[in-house]
Chains A and B, each alone.
Chain A
Amino acid sequence: MNVSSSTPTPALSFAHLSKSYAVGFLARQRRAALTDLTFDVARGEVFGYLGANGSGKTTTIKTLMGLVFADSGEARVLGLPLADPAWKARVGYLPEQPYFYDYLTPREYLDYVGRLFGLSPSVRTERANALIEEVGLQDSRDVAVRRFSKGMAQRLGLAQALLNDPELVVLDEPMSGLDPIGRSLVRGVILRLKREGRTVFFSTHILPDAETLCDRVALLREGRLVKVGRLDEILERDDRNLLEVLVSGGDLAGIPEASRTGRMGERATLQVTEPELLATLEALKRGGSRVLSVQPIRQSLEDYFMKEMGKGGGGPA
């Protein structure tokens, strides 16, 4: 497949998308699931969609896939409006906790999916076999799905999402239910898709995975977009100059209380900003402490996530 990354149209675009659900007795109240969602996903990028449980990640993806309907706003897939079915042949989708017909084997299920894409029998067989190998189900290709573990179903889900050789792959919690080997496999598939110039949009709450894979991320809290951008921009904005100093022994009286972040026996850790470093080192020298190391602190996505989630008083469960 030849995927053009120079096309200016984004792979996905959301413009003021809002969605609410009816709740309560006789469905008289509505609860906002998404509010005024606006962002783009560029072609060829791996985009992480992050948020706590109930923050609206799955609702966003279901809206894209035509499973639920937005109240207002617009979303476009590969430049086409949602109502235009032409994009569906070019997109792959893995639902959250997928369930497949348990009376079918992976080979039969993939053949069925291939027929819905209008693929010829030979192409269906060829792609199904290749994908079954790629997701590691080769020993279970003729086993009914009812005998599958959650992780195996997830692997089959990934295979069916890739059967049509898609330009854009939308994965809802692809790492969920997978053991470390399965997660590594999914990471491998995502990286392969990226190398081939395809776009991957995936939701997750497993942040180290997002940190490893994503070019950009969006952070969602209670249905609203909190932040969207490149990981290095998001993570370095607040604490680019924060340093951790590891010291041993001596008197720390000359060091401000706020800088002392930990103590273990003789050793202590301090956190200081770059301008404070020189004064701190001098104070340590005066107190007779030995400086073991000085290193910059890079905030992890998880730290950032926890901090941002905390601002909203915690997302809904």
Chain B
Amino acid sequence: MSGLKRIVAVAANTFRETVRERVLYNLVFFAVLMTASSLLLGNLSIRQDEKIVKDLGLASMDIFGTFIALFIGVGLISKEIERRSLYPLLAKPLTRSEFLLGKFAGLCFTLFVNIGLMSIGLIVTLLATHHRADPALLKAIYPIFLGLILVVAVALFFSSVASSSLLATLWTIAVVVAGRFSDVIRNMRQVSEVPDWLVTALYWAVPNFRNFDVKNAVVYGDPVPVVALAWMTAYAIVYSAVLLGAARLAFGSRDLH
């Protein structure tokens, strides 16, 4: 139980750090974007205008969230090591696993708050432009959040194994970009020089972020079955757990110079 309290303490501090470091300032851009879109799109037909606001809102949540998850995530551990701010903390009754989990949970909470506030912004924009607050939007927002959790797990993993924040950033960007364009990896089979087994291994090793993209389906009113959402949840949980486990192994035995 006390372990959980320590994880919550680290998470709370991580959340406070992101707030104090002005990470949530992206919300200002989001607000400006939403306001501008609602003002500029007034001339379009009713359905068009609603779709564009929803599209913009969901895409912004995804993009801003990914940037935060990636760039804050890679610093979660490596920055602490470089600045030596974790030295006094690890000498306290705080295990390295608790520290990792606390950092992970803290950034996920930041993303949750961020996405929550953006969702409210999107709903307000829809209402302001005389549309209804479509509850089906949640079916697109929830997978976006799952995808962001997975980005944090990837970033945290590289943050724990890389010797510098820069390397961690480069690797994380590579994996996130590859995961967002996983079809490209699959199509590499057509390039004769690349062995099939390598393409298959790469395709399965890199998390497939396209699984979480149901934005178009929701905007165009297509159904998103609950079973699909359950699968996404399981995928995100299992993949994140594996990455956190690997991060724990690497970080747990690492000398902190």
What is the bound-complex CA distance between A301 and B9, given in angstroms? 45
- Is B92 in contact with A67, judged by CB distance below 8 angstroms? no
In contact, B91 and A93 (Cβ under 8 angstroms): yes
Tell me the minimal C-beta distance from B95 to chain A in angstroms.
Answer: 7
Q: Which of B61-69, B80-88, B116-124 has 4 or more CB atoms under 8 Å from chain A? A: B80-88
Q: B13 — which chain A residues lie within 8 A by C-beta?
A: 101, 104, 112
**Would you give the shortest CB distance from A78 to chain B, in whole angstroms?**
13
CA distance A67 to B253 in the complex (A): 9
Pick from A88, A94, A101: contact of B92, CB under 8 Å: A88
Which residues of the partner chain A approach B94 to less than 8 Å between Cβ atoms? 116
B32 within 8 A of A: no
Bound CA–CA A234/B192 (angstroms)? 75
In the complex, what distance in Å separates the CA atom of A115 from the CA atom of B7? 10
Which of A66, A103, A116 contacts B9, CB < 8 Å? A116
A249 close to B (CB within 8 Å):
no
A100 proximity list for chain B (CB < 8 A): 85, 88
Given contacts A67-B255, A101-B13, contact A95 B88 (CB under 8 A): yes
Q: Which of B16, B21, B91, B93 has the most CB of A within 10 A?
A: B91
B88 close to A101 (CB less than 8 A): no
User: What 1/0 flags go to B5-21 for Cβ under 8 Å of A?
Assistant: 11001100100110011
Given contacts A67-B255, A101-B85, A103-B17, whether A118 and B95 have CB atoms under 8 Å apart is: no
8 Å CB interface, B147-185 against A = none
B9 and A115 contacting across the interface, CB-CB below 8 Å: yes
Which residues of A sit under 8 angstroms from B91, Cβ to Cβ? Answer: 65-67, 88, 91, 93, 95
The chain A residue with its CB closest to the CB of B1 is A118
Q: Is A24 an interface residue (CB 8 A)?
A: no
B187 within 8 Å of A by Cβ?
no
Interface centre among B6, B87, B92, B93 (most CB of A within 10 A): B92
Within B115-139, which residues are at the interface with A (CB < 8 Å)? none
- The yes or no answer to B44 lying at the interface (CB within 8 A) is no
Per-position binary interface string of chain A over residues 43-80, scored 1 when its CB falls under 8 Å from any chain B CB and 0 otherwise: 00000000000000000001001111100000000000
Whether A112 pairs with B93 at a CB distance below 8 angstroms is: no
B227 beta carbon closer than 8 Å to chain A:
no
Using Cβ atoms and an 8 Å threshold, which residues of chain A touch B256? Answer: 62, 67-68
Q: B90 on the interface (CB 8 Å rule)? A: yes
Residues of A within 8 A of B16 (CB): 103-104
Smallest CB gap from A19: residue in B: B255
> Which 7 A-B pairs have CB atoms at the shortest separation, nearest pair first?
A103-B20, A93-B91, A115-B9, A68-B255, A95-B87, A65-B91, A116-B92
Given contacts A85-B95, A88-B91, A118-B2, 12 further A-B contacts (CB under 8 A): A21-B257, A62-B256, A67-B256, A69-B253, A99-B84, A113-B88, A113-B92, A116-B9, A116-B89, A117-B93, A161-B88, A164-B92
